[in-house]
Amino acid sequence: MLQFALLAKSLLQLSSIRLHANHPSLSCFDAALCSWIVLHSLHHSYVRKAPAVCLASGGRLPPRCLWSGRCPGDFLEIFGNVVEKCPLITAAVWSARPFATLADMEARIAEFIDSLPAAGKAGILRCHPDLAGRDLQSGTLTAESEQEQVVAGLRSLEPADATRLRRLNLQYKERFGYPFVICAGLNDRAAILRQLAERFANEPQRELPLAIEEVKKICCLRLRRIVASDIKL
Amino acid sequence: MLQFALLAKSLLQLSSIRLHANHPSLSCFDAALCSWIVLHSLHHSYVRKAPAVCLASGGRLPPRCLWSGRCPGDFLEIFGNVVEKCPLITAAVWSARPFATLADMEARIAEFIDSLPAAGKAGILRCHPDLAGRDLQSGTLTAESEQEQVVAGLRSLEPADATRLRRLNLQYKERFGYPFVICAGLNDRAAILRQLAERFANEPQRELPLAIEEVKKICCLRLRRIVASDIKL
């Protein structure tokens, strides 16, 4: 295994991939994985994507993302929309870089959100679009939201379901002052409709933290998707 | 004056302009102004713009904006970028609506910004573009930023000034971890270059609140521009 690690190190150096100075040392297992993917990527002429390998070993962030962390602009370009239309949150947690693992970055984002007053949390929710709303119809959703809503089947609703969702959405917004937010990536349209009806009955003090937990779930999925797209060699 | 107020009230009703239920009662002076502008707007067939009139009487927000405040989506559409790329802030202060005056709305935004931890304040700054940076060159600034930078003369810098600004911007970002932010609407290019050089020498604890004060100035100008555009009859 040690030989594998040394081989990986040499290959990383050879292919001009320098790990970030603050990045935790590679374990032998990480290095073994690195070596495999570097070899694989060299073979397929995808050397530039090889740094992402570290994620493959248990959610550790790829060095590319750590490097990006050195410049807030690049960092924002990659992670700016992990919380819908709230680059402020990503930009705030940049102060806590580098992140040793993906879970570490997720935790910092969650901490920042939790530190906001109730109005700030409601503000995050208000930056979210309606589910199956006018933005989905007119194509003005963010790329992330559109993908999530389409995968959850919200573009192909039966007319009766579409009408029901629109009515419930409106009632929910009237009651709570923000749109209904649910992690569409973890729910299909039937579950979304059911939960919307259920959560509408909640007291506002109970509903706000529930909705914020959904924001965190969406954020985690978006983060994982960004990083996963980086390791497809 | 009382007659003028009654006339204004009747005209407002006639032209289907209903004041928001929570809007402070119109003073005689407000109503007199209202009546003049409603008459003026009727004359010019611009009835739909008449609600903006209240601003003319000392910074009171136009009812249109108060009405928009009833739906967070519309409110965000109008005021979402008064703090650069931070609709979260506008969305958070929606909780404090309706705003009796423009100064009231500005104060709520300032309060929310002040309530954020240092990382959140730095996050706001990181959502701002570089002055005379690549976004200005490539046309990818927000409309508000582009207008402010162009008016400050940053698109027509002498090559020597452009080089100096680029170098100073880079050094500033390296030192503080966020781009240099200054209210371009209140400074010309010479003042911007001078202040960038001066503020670069500040200690980080001194610089963060100074930069945040500039964010608030930018926000005030943007708010006033939005409202002013609503009263051009």
Contact B64, B53 (CB under 8 A): no
Long-range contacts of B40-49 (CB under 8 A, 24+ apart): B40/B233, B41/B233, B42/B11, B42/B15, B44/B233, B46/B233, B47/B15, B47/B17, B49/B230, B49/B231, B49/B232, B49/B233
Q: When comparing pLDDT for B134 and A170, which is higher?
A: A170
Residue B134: per-residue pLDDT: 87
Was domain B69-233 assigned CATH 1.10.3720.10? Answer: no
- Per-residue pLDDT band at A36 (split at 50, 70, 90): very low
Residue B30: per-residue pLDDT: 36
Dump pLDDT digits (tens) for A191-232: 999 999 999 999 999 999 999 999 999 999 999 998 887 655
- Per-residue pLDDT band at A60 (split at 50, 70, 90): low
Contacts of B177 in chain A (CB under 8 A): 72, 94-95
First-last CA distance in chain A: 23
Q: When comparing pLDDT for A171 and B70, which is higher?
A: A171
Of A50, A61, A180, nearest to A126 by C-alpha is A180
Contact: A76, B122; criterion CB under 8 Å? no
Residue B230: per-residue pLDDT: 64
A44 catalytically annotated: no
- Residue B31, pLDDT > 60, answer no
- The dihedrals phi and psi of B103, each to the nearest 5 degrees, come to -60, -35
Residue A16: per-residue pLDDT: 31
- Residue B213, pLDDT > 80, answer yes
Of A151, A158, A205, nearest to A183 by C-alpha is A151
Residue A221: per-residue pLDDT: 96
pTM of the model: 0.75
Token pair for residue A163? 């009408």
Of B37, B38, B27, nearest to B5 by C-alpha is B27
A81, closest residue in chain B (CA to CA): B85
- Per-residue pLDDT band at A98 (split at 50, 70, 90): confident
Average the pLDDT over each of A143-157, A186-200, B66-80, B85-99 and give the range with the smallest value: B66-80
Please tell me which of the candidates A87, A117, A123 has its beta carbon nearest to residue B85.
A87
Average the pLDDT over each of A28-42, A99-113, A126-140, B117-131 and give the range with the smallest value: A28-42
Residue A74: per-residue pLDDT: 86
State chain B's mean pLDDT as an integer. 77
Dump pLDDT digits (tens) for B41-75: 333 322 233 333 334 445 666 666 665 667 888 89
For residues B91-100, average pLDDT = 91
Angle at A9 between CA A8 and CA A14, to 5 degrees: 95
Please tell me which of the candidates B72, B73, B120 has its beta carbon nearest to residue A112.
B120
- Per-residue pLDDT band at B99 (split at 50, 70, 90): confident
For chain B, the structural domain boundaries read 2-58, 69-233
Contact B140, B87 (CB under 8 A): no
Residue B170: per-residue pLDDT: 95
Q: Is B47 on the interface with A (CB under 8 A)?
A: no
Of B200, B212, B211, B206, nearest to B175 by C-alpha is B200
- The dihedrals phi and psi of B193, each to the nearest 5 degrees, come to -65, -40
Residues 6+ apart with CB under 8 A from B184: B131, B148, B149, B151, B152, B154, B192, B218
Task: Enter the ipTM.
Answer: 0.74
Contact: A177, B89; criterion CB under 8 Å? no
Of B16, B62, B8, nearest to B33 by C-alpha is B8
Contact: B92, A127; criterion CB under 8 Å? no
Q: When comparing pLDDT for A164 and A68, which is higher?
A: A164
**How many CB atoms lie under 10 A from the CB of residue B162?**
16
Provide the total of helices (H) and of strands (E) in chain B, helices listed first. Answer: 12, 0
Q: When comparing pLDDT for B158 and B29, which is higher?
A: B158
Long-range contacts of A5-9 (CB under 8 A, 24+ apart): A5/A31, A5/A32, A5/A35, A7/A35, A8/A32, A8/A34, A8/A35, A8/A38
- The dihedrals phi and psi of B60, each to the nearest 5 degrees, come to -70, 135
Of A52, A43, A45, A60, nearest to A17 by C-alpha is A52
Output the CA–CA distances (angstroms, integers) from residue B191 to B182, B186, B197, in the order listed. 10, 9, 10
Dump pLDDT digits (tens) for B156-196: 899 999 999 999 999 999 999 999 999 999 999 999 999 99
Residue A6: per-residue pLDDT: 41
- Residue A35, pLDDT > 80, answer no
Q: When comparing pLDDT for A44 and A93, which is higher?
A: A93
Residue B60: per-residue pLDDT: 65
Question: In the beta sheet, which residues pair with residue B101?
Answer: B60
In chain A, alpha helices (H): 2-14, 28-43, 63-68, 72-79, 87-93, 102-115, 118-126, 134-138, 143-151, 159-176, 189-200, 204-230
Residue B93: per-residue pLDDT: 96
CATH number, domain A67-233 = 1.10.3330.10
Element (DSSP H or E) covering residue B57: none
Output the CA–CA distances (angstroms, integers) from residue B11 to A212, B64, B112, in the order listed. 46, 16, 38
Long-range contacts of B130-135 (CB under 8 A, 24+ apart): B130/A73, B130/B169, B130/B173, B130/B179, B130/B180, B131/B165, B131/B169, B131/B179, B131/B180, B131/B182, B131/B184, B131/B192, B131/B196, B132/B157, B132/B162, B132/B165, B132/B166, B132/B169, B133/B166, B133/B169, B133/B179
Residue B62: per-residue pLDDT: 67
- Residue B218, pLDDT > 60, answer yes
Dump pLDDT digits (tens) for B107-128: 999 999 999 999 999 999 999 9
Contacts of B95 in chain A (CB under 8 A): 118-119, 122-123, 177
For residues A34-46, average pLDDT = 34
